[in-house]
Amino acid sequence: MKLHTAGYSLSVRRHSLFFPPIERPNNTMPRISALWVTALCALCLQTAALAADTPPASIYLSTDYPSLTLQAGQTSTVSLQLRNQSTPPERLTLSMAGVPKDWKATLLGGGRPVESAMPASNDSLSLQLRLDIPKNDAKSQHTITVHADSSLRHLSLPIDVTLATQLPAQLSVKPELPQLTGSASTSFDYQLTVKNESGQDVLASLAAQAPQYFDATFTEGYGTQQISAVPIKAGESKTVKLHVRPPISAASGEHDIQVQVAADGVKAATTLKLDITGQPALTLAGRDGLMSTQAQIDHASTMPLELRNTGTAVAQDIALDSTAPSGWKVNFEPAQVAHLEPGKTAEVQLHITPSTQSLAGDYMVKLHARSGGQSADGDLRVSVTTSSLWGITGAVLIAIALLVLIGAIARYGRR
């Protein structure tokens, strides 16, 4: 490289490349070159790391458990996976070697027997090796090899099988619906499947840990009898139901219920979710629960009432009305309560005016409070009396009638 006053030139195989003059400090080019070198190095390192994490292009035959213990007289299934890693799809013929005499070994794909498989590029196929082992087979060890062959490759997967007279106790519990939603007045029913995955019959005990004051009981899957344990035969499963009834005062929100199954020192557990939606609950009565009052004919009487929300959610737009005898005037003050928090009480005034045609005696007035789908009803006994003025008037009339009668007897009695 030769630096000139008007520019510079670079000689490559007797040819010269000329660049226009660029005015910049003399130390700029080395800095730019260093940045380019650093960026290229980082890119190379990242590419190498990605290449190291990516498996080579091929087809792989694998299983999660290449060595396992099975029980004689049982049918067992071993899960296999055939994965195509970045190669074109190709047909692979499936076969097995080393299957003991009197054993029945079947390769399944999609629940059906298969003899070949063709995984798509960058995709995998799930296979199952089903083994039917005779009951009288002695305790021993065997190696069964699964082959997947094509014109391009030959895959082999050895699986070591050890026979045992009895397998260790093993339990599992699985809920059909692990989360339910409802109000505090709802009964929640969970259906659970308890499986005995051991080689012997067990008596599985059932336990549920619920929040305080929640009632949790177990019953058989299709019965109503409460149970605390269930017998399960080897390799079989039983369905049980868990009934959960929360208290009416249960707080809204999500609650956990721990279910545990135990047998022969082995335990299995699962967590259920119970989501309680808030719901108002209304009551309407007089002070101290009093539901009786007195009223005079054609005179307004007032009685204080207590409207209470005993639920777990806010009651909105509570409308108050009544059903009274014909001709009566009954109204509330206020006639509507806009907002009532859980556990709170609002006082309303009830005004009653019996009609002029009412007779003295006891009458029933039905009171109603409604908020959405919730309501509260009450029966109020009203004792109706006549006015004292009518009593005085009646007494005066009777006195006048007596005086007239006495006068008539005195006058006409002498004759």
Lowest mean pLDDT, pick from 84-93, 241-250, 342-351, 383-392: 383-392
Percent above pLDDT 90 for the chain: 50
Residue 19 has pLDDT above 50, yes or no: no
pLDDT of amino acid 22: 45
Burial class (CB in 10 A: 0-12, 13-18, 19+), 382: buried
Phi-psi region of 317 (alpha: psi -120 to 50; beta: other; left: phi over 0): left
Beta strands (DSSP E) in 56-170 are 58-62, 67-71, 75-85, 92-97, 104-109, 112-113, 116-117, 123-132, 141-149, 154-164
What the block records as the tokens of 349 is: 């005034």
Query: Residue range 153-169: average pLDDT?
Result: 85
Q: Which of 202, 131, 192 is nearest to 171 (CA)?
A: 202
**pLDDT digits over 163-180, tens only?**
876 667 789 999 999 999
CB 317 within 8 A of CB 336: yes
Distance CA 43, CA 247 (A): 63
Which phi and psi (to 5°) does residue 354 adopt?
-65, 150
More confident site: 312 or 92 = 92
Residues 6+ apart with CB under 8 A from 61: 80, 81, 82, 146, 148, 155, 156, 157
Type of residue numbered 308: R
Return the number of other C-beta atoms located less than 10 Å from residue 146's C-beta.
Answer: 23
Between the CA atoms of 9, 12, 15 and 18, what dihedral angle is there, to the nearest 10 degrees? -20
